[in-house]
Copies of this chain bind each other. A is one copy, B any other.
């Protein structure tokens, strides 16, 4: 890495694991649905909250695309989540809650449950690897999730660090540079083929962790690896096994 110190260890083993978070490390659909229900049901508003969560999540990529395209300057995901919540409410003819409640509902994304294997597996992995988040979530959101779920990060990298959203190459390359590592010394860990494809193109090692219920029981995407990723598994324990941790 130009301008960085040479890596201390010249072995070929991966030195850092960079994790996608939503869907890969934590479940978002059920926890968001549960929190929406807990707020709205006592106020007399009923719907299928899992579908509401899906609708909210469906606005995630288009909202980030406005930043990726340069149409809009960088804003953190908390802000996009709040805008998107207002849009979903509006689209359903529902009244927006007062600002304090709206912000707290937006922070439902700070209170997501890790998949049961995530924390034990990551704890094993951390003995021999640097662990960093490489999520599109902003720093405050990542801190919230780490505290809520006990995620053992060495550092929070990703979108807000580079002020760019995956799959913008800068998001990945900026994380490797911050770790003073070449991309080949870093492994992207994700439940999403597209995330791994972007990382592999830039020279990162890749691990696919299948999360076949991220989108609920009828999930149709990312059920299988779309390429011969370096590691294919279905849990962080499996990843730790594959890396000999």
Contacts and interface: CB of A to CB of B under 8 A. Distances in A.
Interface residues of A, number: 34
A100 B6 contact: yes
Give the number of copies in the complex. 2
B5 A78 contact: yes
A222 interface: no
A79 interface: yes
Given A4-B78, A5-B103, A178-B160, A147 B139 contact: no
Contact of A143 (B3, B130, B140, B161): B130
A180 B3 contact: no
Interface of A: 3-6, 8, 75-76, 78-79, 82, 99-100, 103-104, 106-107, 130, 138-140, 142-143, 146-147, 154-157, 160-161, 178-181
22 contacts: A3-B79, A4-B76, A4-B78, A4-B79, A5-B79, A5-B103, A5-B107, A6-B99, A6-B100, A6-B103, A8-B107, A138-B178, A138-B180, A139-B155, A139-B157, A139-B178, A139-B179, A140-B180, A140-B181, A155-B155, A156-B156, A160-B178
